Amino acid sequence: MYPVRPALQRYGWGSETDLPDLLGFEPDGGPYAEAWWGAHPGGPALAGTAGEAKPLDAVIAQDPEAALGGESLAAFGERLPYLLKVLAIARPLSIQVHPSLDVARAGFAREEEAGIPRDAPDRVFRDDNHKPEMIIALTPMVLLSGFRKPSKVREDIAGIGGPVAERLATLCADDQPDGLAAFLRGVMADEEAPGLVSDLAFVGARRGASANLAVAAHAASAYPGDRGALVALAMNVVNLEPGEACFTSDGIVHSYQSGVGLEIMANSDNVIRAGLTGKHIDVAALLDVSVTTPGEPFRPAVTRDGRATHYAPPVREFGLAIADGGEAVFGSGPRMVVALEGEAVVRSAGEALTLPRGGAAFVPDSDGPATVASAGRAAVAFVPLSP
């Protein structure tokens, strides 16, 4: 068992205080967006071992079978299959989508062959993996996930008024087999669309505006003139209360708007963006891999087992549980434990490790079953390969 410290990502949309408060360090006035407890080469956690700190991916590479277990090793190779994060969102994230496994592998190989550095701003495929993900709200959160009925989008667009709105409204037809693809192309191609974003910010801020207009207007205010706010208007608004979850599969366009959440995903950092960002945008690539037909956001199954609440996304790479106010036992495999509220004590292989709030531990497969005793709440990530 290894105590671990997360890698911190300081993106511009991050909160100045939420992650410093969780992790117990003094803020410096800049944004802290994400804490990563994982082994992605772009930001591995640091694991305490033999009196020093080593990147977790290097620790796993020393003995992959001991760290991951034979079942995970056979299914996913010599890497931790998941990446666990806390996101602290002060302003909206980009409109984005994640590629399928086949698309990620082909895109990564193509960009490697082209010699594009993996940290280049215009690099799309930073690894060869897909990125299904699930978020659990730690505070109230607002998300956008997938597209709603075109007729509903048309109503809100028409409510903004003006010739640009009229043009875009004509592209929102319920009988189109590709859903809102024509609307998305129109938003990106219309030279006057940035002006409509300013009108959206004004109309959506009015009292009595629809929920979608209000959320899109908030995005428009955070990113003046950004066409992504019009894309946001076409999406489903999801309001999560603490403890509620939403799952995003490959190809589902999404954007997290506000709040603090615990996120787990396949071990990838592949993101294709279409707005609400200063980063690289590739609208054509996004449309190539996105589901643009209307669909409801996916809410994963949630079950209670003793002192643990289990969230079951429809993937093999990861599962997640929240242990609260008592003891919960977790089977073998590679596990990551993070104390979210109060202390947590992790016991495995005759060893006990006490985690303060914000503290974390990686429990390798070779340690066998682990018991997590939490005074408050602790997150436990694992690989649910076996029934």
pLDDT, one tens digit per residue, over 278-289 is 888 888 889 999
End-to-end CA distance of the chain: give it in Å, rounded.
24
CA atoms of 28 and 30, how far apart (whole Å): 6
Residue 361 bridge partners (DSSP): 3, 337
Averaged pLDDT, 1-14: 96
Averaged pLDDT, 31-45: 96
> 46-55, pLDDT tens digit by residue?
999 767 899 9
Strands 7-9 and 82-89: unpaired
> 344-370, pLDDT tens digit by residue?
999 999 999 999 999 999 999 999 999
pLDDT bin (cut points 50, 70, 90) of residue 104 is very high
Domains by residue range for the chain, with CATH: 2-143+241-270 (2.60.120.10), 308-382 (2.60.120.10)
pLDDT given for residue 311 in this prediction = 97
> 320-345, pLDDT tens digit by residue?
999 998 999 999 999 999 999 999 99
> 172-222, pLDDT tens digit by residue?
999 889 999 999 999 999 999 999 999 999 999 898 899 999 999 999 999
pLDDT bin (cut points 50, 70, 90) of residue 386 is low
pLDDT given for residue 194 in this prediction = 94
List the catalytic residue out of 154, 273, 335, 347: 273
387, pLDDT greater than 50: no
- DSSP for 120-163, please give it: -TT---SSS----EEEEESS-EEEEEEE--HHHHHHHHHHH-SH
pLDDT bin (cut points 50, 70, 90) of residue 229 is very high
pLDDT given for residue 86 in this prediction = 98
**Token digits of residue 158:** 């028409």
27, pLDDT greater than 90: yes
Averaged pLDDT, 86-108: 94
- DSSP for 196-209, please give it: HHHHHHHHHTSTT-
Q: From the CB of residue 158, how many other CB atoms can be counted at a distance below 10 Å?
A: 15
Identify whether 273 is a catalytic site residue. yes
203: exposed, middle or buried (C-beta count within 10 Å: 0-12, 13-18, 19+)? buried
Give 129's contacts (C-beta < 8 A, 6+ positions apart).
Answer: 101, 104, 266, 267, 268, 270
Average pLDDT of the chain to the nearest whole number: 95
140, pLDDT greater than 50: yes
